Amino acid sequence: MSYSFTYPNSNLSEEQKQFYEKNGYLLIKNNVSEKLLNTVCQRFIDICDGKADAANITTVMKDPSLKNKDVQGQYLINKLQDFLYDDVLWQYCSDSAVVNIVEGIIGSNITAVHSMFINKPPNADPGASLDSLHQDLHYFPFRPPNKIVASWTAVERVEEKNGCL
């Protein structure tokens, strides 16, 4: 089979390649270690609470629906933009479990861009933190599209009631 969107000599199984070619995504459960998930989650909390330096984070964004409520820290912050410049959060970007999958899709010439840690604060207004369906490729100034891939990882259990994507 000829592949357009996965790397020919990759560590992905034939089944994974075919699924990605057909659907444009892979779901790989439990790919990132719980230890790393806990580390990046704690770093997010520490940045939100002002206990860790956020100087290398481009944007620490507050949920606009909560600006007039008496909430702070992780209950207010809904996004860290460009977290790849933070030494602790970079561990996710460079984790072999993540890199191996990305490499299986686009090959070994990998550059991390547009990294976001997205948080849906608990008890946010029902319509808060919602993004309509969209395609990010339109906003990226680089090509070709078959060499661009995103990685999304939940740092806690996700269900409809707690704001999964």
Task: Quote the percentage of the chain above a pLDDT of 70.
Answer: 90
Which of 107, 140, 142, 105 minimizes the C-alpha distance to 25? 105
Question: Is position 103 within any domain?
Answer: yes
For tokens 């999958």, what's the residue?
Answer: 101
> Whole-prediction pTM value?
0.85
The domain in which residue 19 lies consists of 1-120
pLDDT of residue 89: 97
- pLDDT value at position 59? 93
pLDDT in tens, 27-79: 999 999 999 999 999 999 999 999 999 999 999 998 887 778 888 998 889 89
Note whether residue 142 is domain-resident.
no
What pLDDT sits at residue 126?
60
pLDDT greater than 90 at residue 2: no
With respect to residue 158, please indicate whether it lies within any of the assigned structural domains: no
Return d(Cα 4, Cα 28) in angstroms, integer. Answer: 20
How many domains does the structure of the chain reveal?
1
State the CB neighbour count (10 A cutoff) for residue 18: 14
Residue 9, in any domain of the structure = yes
For residue 61, give every residue at least 6 positions away whose Cβ sits within 8 Å of its Cβ, in sequence order, or none: 77, 78, 79, 80, 81
Tell me, what CATH number does 87's domain have? 2.60.120.620
Find all residues with CB under 8 Å of 4, minimum gap 6, and list them.
21, 146
Q: Three-state DSSP class for 118?
A: strand
| 155 within a domain of the structure (yes/no) | no
- Position 134 pLDDT exceeds 90: no
What's the whole-number average pLDDT of the chain? 87
Tokens of 135: 């395609």
Q: Is residue 160 part of a domain?
A: no
pLDDT tens digit sequence for 151-165: 989 888 877 776 665
The verdict on residue 39 lying in a domain is: yes
Report if residue 83 sits inside a domain.
yes
Contact 129, 121 (CB under 8 A): yes
